[in-house]
Amino acid sequence: MGRANNSQTVSWNQFDAVLFDLDGVLTATAKVHAACWKKMFDEYLQKRASRTSEAFQPFEIAKDYRLYVDGKPRFDGVRDFLRSRNIELPEGTPDDPPQTETVCGLGNRKNEMINAVIESDGVEVYEGSVALVRDILEKGIKVAIVTSSQNCDAVLKAAGISAFFKVRVDGNIIHDQKLPGKPAPDAFLAAAKTLGVDPKRAVVVEDAISGVQAGRNGGFGLVIGVARKGEVEELKEHGADVVVKDLGELVA
């Protein structure tokens, strides 16, 4: 199925499409997301601790973000992290104000934070990733964005790479079509269907555990993991066939 010969070589002629995650793969927004998740959860946990006399245990980016939140739809991330702390909140509705103590309210609070950062600081793009996208397009291979983020359009525009990606399956589409989030493969499969390609002839590029699991679960021809923090073996264990530290390594 076109497996790579080594970590720097992919036989691109065996594929018809490449499906990219966004945050942490194309743009340096994963660390911004993680910081906003920490700020939101720590504020909530401190408030809860003062009310219940429980010990305050802060949200840990290295553990909690990676295991429970990274790559997942926003409300799934809230729900899964709270469950890890044995905390149950009402689900609420997607329209809940950011101050509401519900799963959706906390998720919307985090979304408010990330939008403010994008507006004030802009978005950093990984040049190696852009070089790979250009290389792939020049080869006549189709591309798409598959992200759990509902900020996809704003991030692509701020990063100046909107024109590359006509097909996008983002958090809004996942929500509207009631698609299961990563590690379920449904969002990637939807992108492949929109592009008119067989999953076996498509490549998934991800930096999150839940993302490489989704690629593996969908039976895609190749799953590439991006280990920005050196988590090479962890990504391989969860479904990546090839792992690189920067996508520029895959440009001929």
Identify whether 70 is a catalytic site residue. no
DSSP-derived 3-state class of residue 191:
helix
Q: Choose the catalytic residue: 16, 23, 96, 170.
A: 23
Identify whether 23 is a catalytic site residue. yes
Q: Residue 164: which residues within 8 A CB-CB, separation 6 or more?
A: 133, 134, 137, 143
Q: Choose the catalytic residue: 16, 21, 70, 241.
A: 21
Strands 142-146 and 17-20, sheet pairing: parallel
SS (H, E, C) the chain: CCCCCECCECCHHHCCEEEECCECCCECCHHHHHHHHHHHHHHHHHHHHHHHCCCCCCCCHHHHHHHHHCCCCHHHHHHHHHHHCCCCCCCCCCCCCCCCCCHHHHHHHHHHHHHHHHHHHCCCECHHHHHHHHHHHHCCCEEEEECCCCCHHHHHHHHCCHHHCCCEECHHHHHHCCCCCCCCCHHHHHHHHHHCCCHHHEEEEECCHHHHHHHHHCCCCEEEEECCCCCHHHHHHCCCCEEECCHHHHCC
Let me know: does 190 contact 179? Beta carbons within 8 Å.
Answer: yes
Number of H-type helices and E-type strands within the chain: 9, 6
Which residues are known to be catalytic? Answer: 21, 23
